[in-house]
Amino acid sequence: MKKPSDISEPLNTAKQVDPANAGAISRNQLTPEAATSPQGHDVPGHDHAPVLPAPKRTADADACCSVEQPAKKAPTANDHGDHSHDDAGTNPYLWPGVSLALLLGGLALDYADVAFFTGPVRLLWYGLAFVLVGWKVIRSAVYSIPSGNIFNEFLLMSLATLGAFAIGEYPEGVAVMLFYTAGELFQDAAVNRAKRSIRALLEIQATEVTVVRGGQSLILDPQQVQLGDVIEVKPGEKVALDGTLQIAAASFNTAALTGESAPQTKQAGETVLAGMINLERLVQIAVTATYQDTKLAKILAMVQDAVGRKAKTQLFITRFAKVYTPIVVALATLVIVLPYFIVDDYVFRTWLYRSLIFLVISCPCALVVSIPLGYFGGIGAASKAGILFKGSNFLDVMREIDTVVMDKTGTLTQGVFAVQQVQPALGTETTQLLRLVGALETKSTHPIAKAVVTHVGSAAAGVAVDQVEEIAGHGLHGLVDGHEVLAGNAKLLTRFNVPYPAEVEQVADSIVVAAVDGQYAGYLTVADAPKEDAAQAVQELKADGITKLVMLSGDKDSITQRVAKELGIDEAHGGLLPEDKARYVQQYLKEGRKLAFVGDGVNDAPVVALADVGIAMGGLGSDATIETADVVIQTDHPSKIATARRIARATHSVVWQNIWLAFGVKAVVLALGAGGLATMWEAVFADVGVALLAILNAVRIQRMNFTKR
């Protein structure tokens, strides 16, 4: 099995809107910040199977259980995280399996009182079983000494097991180390499971870019594209790299960058940014930024950093363990020494054995492993649901929020045009209006025209359309099924001297006004429709204890109020600039509210940074907002906000269950051990057994159902 330093597994990525496209990315594609970001799941001294090669760790970062990794290729305490991964690449379960077989065989020989199984033979038998699983732990304890990180779990395990051998308790010494190793293997599996769920979330970008070189089109990985190369982007594809447009004009969906649904038309020489979606025709773009600076690299860096920010509970346990471990060693020494002056029939071997039991019981593995793993399990469960937490601390804060402030466009609405209302004129049938207007609009590539065609569907199929004239800034004029039809804005009807009702001027949404044979025929409104789960999101948040729901938008206030009423949001404000949104958020924070802000556009980034928890819509959200946010909803579903709160509460509950389990069992067995009522076997359960139970409990988070209750 590969060592962490050898892992460079490909991550699938996607360029097109269709996530079916897949490819690979390696670590050299990351930004410098990503390349040096912390790895692993932030369990002190337990950095197993990182998503990407693990960088240098520090003793402080790894708390009580690991040490700074030397630059040379020598074994370190961090190697302990890989102690089950044999250097030769063998199965990590091989040597523990052999050790278990030797232990069980030895116990059987002891029970049968076989004559030859005594003295050196018995020592060698159990010694081999011990070395197979214990040599890396002892090595880690030795290599931790130069860094000054002496009092760690490796030292406790080494002292306890070697001490057991010193007094002839060979089976117990092997059992302690074997079960400890089994716990590590189990933890490896738990962490890798969580990491796989995070990795799967990242398989949404493509690796294929069409590059034009020497007059030929080449299909390359984005990381192979150089500055100045010209790439081709087909209709429907997401632009993978920043660059300048090389054709006369093209339209792009810029919702990922601007937060608004209206498409933008770019002219030759203007900048096209990664994340924009090409809407109409094949375009060519001269690359001005490398792939390392795209959204993909930043999301990867975010995932790598996800457990770097510790929750308050983790920080406490880390500080506690750094003080706790040397105290345990001192107390274990006193268990040997003090009875000499107090007990009349003092027997050194008896009190040494009790001291070794004390050491095993006191090992803080259950806490320093299971608590961060609990938070990591929460992060993994969230990732499976399409939610990325940038740090375990935000799981705690998410549980505490009482106010949710949301942007409108791209957050609660789809960020795309759709027909909202059809209002035929008196004497005109709705079906006839839609058939004529829909047929004429098929001759246009404008996004509003496409929205009308989509709404009309097959009703316009087969209708004859002739002599179509597209009047820039006004609309279309043509013959449809023998009728002269106008479809566009009010200025188009004015141009052709067609009178229309005054109510048309009062419509707030984008409007398509129609006339047939010189007579006003009605209008259609086209607007940004709410997302399918937007109303559900509002209902779930209210039911989940959120006392204040607010919508802030840069769109017209009339549209904002309409959407708020439709979704059931009590307070909404429209026509806002970014600084206006920030002013509202600051006001709520001054009122003492615990606030989450949800947004997607660049204009939301400052407000996301102000909030206690900043939440970004990551599917089409802007890079700036995603970078600033604390939580990213990759699926763009606002209902995931309530899901994130449920995951946060479940994680908090599991973490505290583990804390009380660890402290409770250890306290009982410590008392029994001090009185001579507990053996090394009970000590093994109090340490490794409790750690395994805590890890099982932490893994349980990823199996929970966090859908709507």
Label residue 204 by pLDDT band (50, 70, 90): very low
Q: Which amino acid is located at 682 in the chain?
A: E
Which is more confident, 140 or 680? Answer: 140
How does pLDDT run across 535-585, given as a tens digit for each residue? Answer: 999 999 999 899 999 999 877 787 889 899 999 998 999 878 778 888 899
Rounded Cα distance between 418 and 415, Å, is 10
pLDDT of residue 523: 95
Q: Which of 188, 407, 533, 600 is catalytic?
A: 407
Per CATH, the architecture of 415-529 is what? 3-Layer(aba) Sandwich (3.40)
Q: How many Å from the N-terminal Cα to the C-terminal Cα in the chain? A: 41
Rg (CA), the chain: 33
For residue 323, what are its two tokens?
């003080």
pLDDT of residue 446: 77
Burial 375-413 (b: 16+ CB within 10 A, else e): bbbbbbbbbbbbbbbbbbbbbbbbbebebbbbbbbbbbb
271-274-276 Cα angle (round to 5):
85
Task: Identify the CA nearest to 303 among candidates 223, 200, 398.
Answer: 200
Helix (H) or strand (E) holding 370: helix 365-384
For residue 296, what are its two tokens?
């993909």
Rounded Cα distance between 702 and 228, Å, is 45
In DSSP terms, 477 is beta-bridged to 469, 486
Strand stretches in 590-673, DSSP E: 595-599, 613-617, 631-633
Lowest average pLDDT, out of 19-33, 100-114, 280-294, goes to 19-33
pLDDT of residue 365: 62
Rounded Cα distance between 194 and 255, Å, is 31
Rounded Cα distance between 177 and 590, Å, is 54
Label residue 439 by pLDDT band (50, 70, 90): very high
pLDDT of residue 88: 40
How do the domains of the chain map onto residue ranges? 93-203, 226-289, 304-378+648-703, 389-413+530-644, 415-529
Q: What percent of the chain has pLDDT over 70?
A: 72
Which is more confident, 404 or 660? Answer: 404
Rounded Cα distance between 561 and 571, Å, is 9
Q: Is the pLDDT of residue 625 over 70?
A: no
Q: Is the pLDDT of residue 702 over 90?
A: no
CATH number, domain 389-413+530-644: 3.40.50.1000
Number of C-beta neighbours around residue 679 at 10 A: 15
pLDDT of residue 57: 32
Reduce the DSSP state of residue 691 to 3 states and report it: helix
Rounded Cα distance between 418 and 452, Å, is 7
How does pLDDT run across 351-361, given as a tens digit for each residue? Answer: 888 887 777 77
Q: Is the pLDDT of residue 43 over 50?
A: no
Number of C-beta neighbours around residue 204 at 10 A: 21
Residues in the chain: 709
Lowest average pLDDT, out of 45-59, 74-88, 602-616, goes to 45-59
Label residue 217 by pLDDT band (50, 70, 90): confident
For residue 294, what are its two tokens?
């795209």
pLDDT of residue 352: 83
Rounded Cα distance between 204 and 211, Å, is 21
pLDDT of residue 367: 65
Sign of CA dihedral 493, 494, 500, 502: positive
Instruction: Tell me whether residue 517 is one of the annotated catalytic residues.
Output: no
Q: Are 582 and 562 in contact (CB under 8 A)?
A: no
Which of the following CATH numbers is that of domain 226-289: 3.40.640.10, 2.60.40.10, 3.20.20.370, 2.70.150.10? Answer: 2.70.150.10
Q: Are 285 and 310 in contact (CB under 8 A)?
A: no
Q: Are 371 and 663 in contact (CB under 8 A)?
A: no
pLDDT of residue 179: 72
94-112 vs 119-143: helix crossing angle, rounded to 10: 150
In DSSP terms, 402 is beta-bridged to none
DSSP per residue, 565-591: HHHT-SEEE-S--HHHHHHHHHHHHHT
Q: Are 83 and 188 in contact (CB under 8 A)?
A: no
For residue 365, what are its two tokens?
């593995």
How does pLDDT run across 406-434, given as a tens digit for each residue? Answer: 988 778 988 777 888 899 999 899 999 99
User: Dihedral through CA 525, CA 530, CA 535, CA 538, nearest 10?
Assistant: -120
Helix (H) or strand (E) holding 326: helix 312-342
Average pLDDT taken over every residue of the chain:
75
Q: Are 257 and 622 in contact (CB under 8 A)?
A: yes
Q: Is the pLDDT of residue 302 over 70?
A: no
How does pLDDT run across 227-277, given as a tens digit for each residue? Answer: 889 999 888 887 888 889 999 888 887 655 444 456 778 888 888 877 677
Strand 387-389 versus strand 631-633 pairing type: antiparallel
Task: Identify the CA nearest to 176 among candidates 709, 707, 694, 691.
Answer: 691
